[in-house]
Structure 1
Amino acid sequence: MEKVYIYDTTLRDGTQGEGISLSVDDKLKIARLLDRFGIHYIEGGWPGSNPKDMEFFQKVKKLSLKTSKITAFGSTRRPGVPAEKDENLQKILESGVETVAIFGKTWDFQVTHALNTTLDNNLDMIEDSVRYLKSHGLEVMFDAEHFFDGFKSNPEYALHALKRAEQAGADWIVLCDTNGGTLPDELAAIVKTVKEKLQTPIGVHCHNDSECAVANSLAAVRAGATQVQGTINGYGERCGNTNLISLIPNLQIKQGYVCVPEEKLRLLTSLSRQVHEIANVSPPNNQPFVGLSAFAHKGGMHVSAVLKSPETYEHLPPDQVGNARRVLVSELSGQSNLLYKARELNIELDKSNPACKSLIQKIKQMEHEGYQYEGAEASFELMLRQGLGETEEVFSLESIQILVEKTADAPVKMVAVIKMRVYDEVVHTAAEGNGPVHALDNALRKALSSFFPEIRKMQLTDYKVRVLNGEEATAAKVRVWIESSDGKNRWSTVGVSANIIEASWQALSDSMRYFLLYGKEPVAMK
């Protein structure tokens, strides 16, 4: 099988995306992940542009990477400056890398309007820079910036620029769709033409401004490219770069190319999510291959078919890329959804059980009222077990009071006063908090902790409110979603009401009930 080399530029081009900022430690963590996954080249940054990138190149040497080559990025020499005196090229040598990617202009318009030099001088800059770096023993990639626009404008000049890089000894010629406006059919035709003109291996670097970066990269490989540059999760300037998370399984699983070791494909989902976490980006649920919803099934007929033959609604087995099948329970659910979820939760339920039909109706009614169980599976499990008579009512509420105190020179103080029954005993307690939900959480925990000391181990880790009918203004119904954790496991619950305190109580109390259902080892927590 033919090999395609994967070149990752998350640490450089990816950080040019809006909202993406990585510290040196962040970049080192991602480099370890990429190396473990089997990426061939990791572009660490531009040594001449900032101290942070140079620090990365110094520290990454201590990682003892096993698979990846660390690559520096830079530009051709400046007009009128000899290569050996160009500060940018000297910084590349100082970085200590063995591989470098330098970009140069291949679009005549860019040469005259952006670089403000002559076409001939630009060609000299390309050749001089590549030759100088090669003379120092580096593996050199020439990134032909704006190549596809340049080829469409002046193919003779664009090809001549590539030839000068090749003559100087470039190890790779990388064709860049810098503006991201080329479509797959025209890009493939141009790559094929270049392939016929050059002896040097070809790579491709695509941006996603036309939503075609992955498709363009696939087309380029079919036309003869053997290296693809991109970023994890498609991070990058403007609309981003080729998303390697989508590209790699498409090339390797669907088209038979070798990109990474076969066993590493199962790390794909983990890699994507860990990089999202390091970059402090919320993963899109609908991200292909690796998203939470990538193999999620909601419609009853779909679920019924998937249970019989997964390939009816899945383009590949989810575990092949480290993901998992999910069946969602909602107003669209049928019996198959409910049975699948019960089996997933180790609950015995079959379609002959009369409770099955009533539970489906209850789910649909609750979703009609605004509940949503797709992201609150702890609340769903409680409802399911309650409907089957498998839970004990450990505690019940008798009353709640929320007291607010605000003075002119002090912040708001909140006190929650709770009267509740735990088993057969009435408990009356109060607790302060920064806000009403915080106070309510503290009071509920205080009331339960003398009966269940292990409740001290759990805490609220996330809290979200969604207005469901905004046209009602301040009288609108809200949905409260809460995530809780005991330090090892996480679970989510939901509450709905026109009163935010009541909705919060529903979600909070469900969270406590779910924890107490499983004690120290909650078997179904995610």
Structure 2
Amino acid sequence: MSQIRLYDTTLRDGTQAEDISFLVADKVRIAEMLDDLGIHYIEGGWPGSNPKDIAFFKEIRNISLKQAKIAAFGSTRRARVKPEDDDNIRTLIQAEPDTITIFGKSWDFHVREALRISLEQNLELINDSLVYLKQHVGEVIYDAEHFFDGYKANPAYALQTLKAAADADVDCIVLCDTNGGSLPFEIADIIDDVRKHISTPLGIHAHNDSECAVANSLTAVEHGAVHVQGTINGFGERCGNANLCSIAPALTLKMNRPCMTEDQLRQLRIASRTVYELANLVPNKHQPYVGNSAFAHKGGVHVSAIQRHPETYEHIRPEKVGNLTRVLVSDLSGRSNILAKAEQFNIDLDSKDPVTQEILETIKNLENQGFQFEGAEASFELMMRRALGTLRHFFSVLGFRVIDTKRHGDDNPLSEATIQVKVGGKIEHTAAEGRGPVNALDHALRKALEKFYPQLKQMKLLDYKVRVLPAGRGTASITRVLIESGDKNSRWGTVGVSDNIIDASYQALIDAIQYKLVQDYAADKKE
């Protein structure tokens, strides 16, 4: 049984997605990470299309990769131009990649309407482009663009285009579902027929327009494909490409077709998050395998079961892909959730302890008011410690005032916050300005407390979300504020709820600072 080769096109096809663009330095960093992950081919871009991709191929030559091959992407020669005279073909060779991948037309409709040449001419430019490339580079892959649509329209001609590539002795022929409209049963039937006519190793390149890109890729492997193309997180044009973060664990853990080692697979979540970070996108928490919610449990019955036997509600062990089991706390919670969360925070809590029930009732009452702890686990930990009487008192806020002033109609408002805090026996009275009232309050709090706790200078506010809860009260509605904070070691979420947005923000800010101090104090004790 042949090993499945993973071909990543995040740096080329992935960047065709809306809102995604990578700098050359980003592309090099991602390539190094993909190499560590065990990806076999990294498609760096189309060197004939833009200067950024040309720069990438120059930069990547200076990087020593462990095992991945760098592939350059392009098209067959233009009609009525010889391969050696075609700028696209020449640029591909000049990029000096390990592998060259070019695409050609499989659908007679595209040949007539897009290329506007005869069907026979199309076969010639596929064949002689590939023959020429095979003379100048060690490995050549042919992407049969729109193959499945072409096969459905004219199977005889679609197969002729594959034979033209096979006759050029290419190393792999990749069947592309370019429009993403095919379904798994169609993929299976068509590949079975292709294998009767073509002996060249086959690959699959699926798009996700029918939400079947991963399923189509796995089906293709089941029916003989040995090469799978996709992107990290499924990035790609329109609805995206096949998601390698789902394909790799499915092949390795479920289909007994290992394409990564166990150690590499454990890096999958980190790889996913890194690509999101470099793309400046918020990770999809509901993404299978690697998302924050992929192994998150909320209902009490589920939590009780997974504590005894994780497989009752988890299809794989999350650690295998670098993820972890998370127990969410909400008004659906039971004692099992509370105990599991206490264990996660190294808090000793007995199921028979009345405090457990007290915490549970407190959570339910708070969520009735609009609190939500799924994205604010730091606030939840602080609440548990308060109930147990183990929360160290670091400071008190004696009062604060926030003023917004707009002096002229066209000017931006000026925000100023004044705050009084008490640390030990000392009172600090401080004022600060900011971009908006919440920013001013944050600055004033830090300014007052950093004199006593210098480590707060390391803390940053990373994200701030406001949600107006449906109450039918217009501008007097309840507001929930979720804040994500972080330092060089970790990130944490806190929550505040009030009919006053400043007060809700204040609650979340206070919890964020309190949590930072709790964590630092615990770390100092360990040392």
Alignment-mate amino acid for residue 258 of structure 1:
P
User: Who is 1:506 aligned against?
Assistant: 507
**TM-aligned CA distance change 1:523 to 1:296, over 3 Å:** farther
1:96-122 Cα deviation digits (max 9, x unpaired): 123111111111111101111100100
Does 2:373 align with 1:384? Answer: no
In 1, distance between residues paired with 2:284 and 2:387? 33
User: Who is 1:467 aligned against?
Assistant: 468
In 2, distance between residues paired with 1:283 and 1:225? 30
Deviation at 1:169, TM superposition (A): 1.5
1:347-401 Cα deviation digits (max 9, x unpaired): 1111111111111011011011111111111111111011111124443333322
Q: Secondary structure at the match of 2:115?
A: coil
Contact 1:454 1:520 in 2 (8 A): no
Contact 1:188 1:219 in 2 (8 A): yes
1:307-343 Cα deviation digits (max 9, x unpaired): 0000000001011111111101111100000001111
User: With structure 2 as the length reference, what TM-score do the two structures score?
Assistant: 0.96
Contact 1:231 1:244 in 2 (8 A): yes
1:260-313 Cα deviation digits (max 9, x unpaired): 233211111111111111111211101000000001111000000000000000
Deviates more, 1:18-27 or 1:392-401: 392-401
Alignment-mate amino acid for residue 46 of structure 1:
W
Deviates more, 1:245-254 or 1:445-454: 445-454
Deviates more, 1:241-250 or 1:438-447: 438-447
For these two proteins, the number of residue pairs brought into alignment is: 524
Computed over aligned residues only, the root mean square deviation of the Cα atoms, in angstroms, reads 1.7
**TM-aligned CA distance change 1:80 to 1:215, over 3 Å:** same
The percent of aligned pairs where both chains have the same amino acid is: 55
**TM-aligned CA distance change 1:117 to 1:304, over 3 Å:** same
Moved over 6 A (4+): none
User: Who is 1:311 aligned against?
Assistant: 311
Q: Secondary structure at the match of 1:519?
A: helix
Q: Secondary structure at the match of 1:349?
A: coil
In 2, distance between residues paired with 1:198 and 1:459? 58
Contact 2:100 2:137 in 1 (8 A): no
User: Who is 1:419 aligned against?
Assistant: 420
Contact 1:372 1:494 in 2 (8 A): yes
Does 2:491 align with 1:494? Answer: no
In 2, distance between residues paired with 1:118 and 1:337? 67
User: Who is 1:289 aligned against?
Assistant: 289
**TM-aligned CA distance change 1:46 to 1:377, over 3 Å:** same
In 2, distance between residues paired with 1:133 and 1:505? 64
Does 2:337 align with 1:337? Answer: yes
Deviation at 1:452, TM superposition (A): 3.2
In 2, distance between residues paired with 1:227 and 1:348? 50
User: Who is 2:477 aligned against?
Assistant: 476
Contact 1:379 1:510 in 2 (8 A): yes
**TM-aligned CA distance change 1:53 to 1:143, over 3 Å:** same
Contact 1:2 1:258 in 2 (8 A): no
User: Who is 1:398 aligned against?
Assistant: 398
User: Who is 1:141 aligned against?
Assistant: 141
Contact 1:484 1:491 in 2 (8 A): yes
User: Who is 2:60 aligned against?
Assistant: 60
User: Who is 2:29 aligned against?
Assistant: 29
Q: Secondary structure at the match of 1:365?
A: helix
User: Who is 1:518 aligned against?
Assistant: 519
User: With structure 1 as the length reference, what TM-score do the two structures score?
Assistant: 0.96
In 2, distance between residues paired with 1:256 and 1:160? 33
Q: Secondary structure at the match of 2:20?
A: coil
In 1, distance between residues paired with 2:162 and 2:515? 64
Does 2:375 align with 1:375? Answer: yes
Alignment-mate amino acid for residue 237 of structure 1:
E
Alignment-mate amino acid for residue 432 of structure 1:
E
In 2, distance between residues paired with 1:283 and 1:46? 27
User: Who is 1:438 aligned against?
Assistant: 439
Deviation at 1:412, TM superposition (A): 2.6
In structure 1, runs of 5+ residues without a counterpart are: none
User: Who is 1:325 aligned against?
Assistant: 325
Deviates more, 1:144-153 or 1:295-304: 144-153
**TM-aligned CA distance change 1:379 to 1:331, over 3 Å:** same
In structure 2, runs of 5+ residues without a counterpart are: none
In 2, distance between residues paired with 1:226 and 1:142? 14
Alignment of 1:264-283 (within 5 A): 264-283=264-283
In 1, distance between residues paired with 2:452 and 2:26? 43
1:426-466 Cα deviation digits (max 9, x unpaired): 44332222221122122222333344343344343322211
**TM-aligned CA distance change 1:486 to 1:302, over 3 Å:** same
**TM-aligned CA distance change 1:71 to 1:486, over 3 Å:** closer
In 2, distance between residues paired with 1:263 and 1:317? 14
Deviation at 1:423, TM superposition (A): 4.0
Q: Secondary structure at the match of 2:274?
A: helix
Deviation at 1:487, TM superposition (A): 3.1
